[in-house]
Amino acid sequence: MCGRFALHSAPEALAEYFGLEVIEPYAARYNIAPTQPVLAVISADERRVAHLLQWGLVPSWAKDPRIGQRMINARAETVAEKPAFRAAFRRRRCLIPADGYYEWTTAPHGKQPWYIYRPDETCFAFAGLWEHWEHDGAVIETCAILTCAANARLASLHERMPVVIEAADYPRWLAPERDGPPPSTLLRAMDDDFFTLHRVSKRVNSPRHDAPDCISPQADED
């Protein structure tokens, strides 16, 4: 799954990497948690723009927006059929930039977090969906991250991993429904060598701790 991640790349770097024409101001984050704002790249009027969306998708038909607290991830195997996600999968796909994400293993003294990132420490993009919810004058725009079965290297941490869209496939992922069916073939695990990882401090376990030391290697348990 994907329940916590980091994005600290400079806005200028993201604008160049994703070909953005508009990017909403954001702060470097090292421990982004569900229900918090996340940066998402969408296609609007044939331009790529990046806006802050709330992490936890609220379907347009939902009566209570708190449903989004349970909708942070969408399974790649069922996203095309699930009522909460199928409309967004057809029409509102997005890219969610990240520099790394976290998973946990069980340790004698509590859950041990691991930081998972590219070997060259460059940013990448999760496959995302976004939705627009409006009720009684209140408007919320939200998103979810797609997941798939983990590759062999990461399966010991968790059976699921986030789906990553490679740069060459950004146009296809962001293309609207009229340009063809949803690109289900992109919903796959990355090769074992795509990510590397290291142990990090258990301070990451609290979403209130959001600082650069979240991603620093930790040789021993705290």
Catalytic residue numbers, as ranges: 2, 103
Angle made by CA atoms 152, 196, 4, in degrees to the nearest 5: 90
Q: For the purposes of burial, counting CB atoms within 10 Å of the CB of 151, is it exposed (0-12), middle (13-18) or buried (19 or more)?
A: middle
**What is the C-alpha to C-alpha distance for residues 89 and 79, in angstroms, rounded to an integer?**
7
In the chain, the N- to C-terminal Cα span, in Å, equals: 24
**What is the C-alpha to C-alpha distance for residues 179 and 159, in angstroms, rounded to an integer?**
33
State the virtual CA torsion across 179, 181, 182, 187 in degrees, nearest 10: -120
Bridge pairing between strands 5-7 and 73-75: unpaired
Q: Which residue has the tokens 């695990």?
A: 189
Q: For the purposes of burial, counting CB atoms within 10 Å of the CB of 67, is it exposed (0-12), middle (13-18) or buried (19 or more)?
A: middle
Bridge pairing between strands 5-7 and 29-32: antiparallel
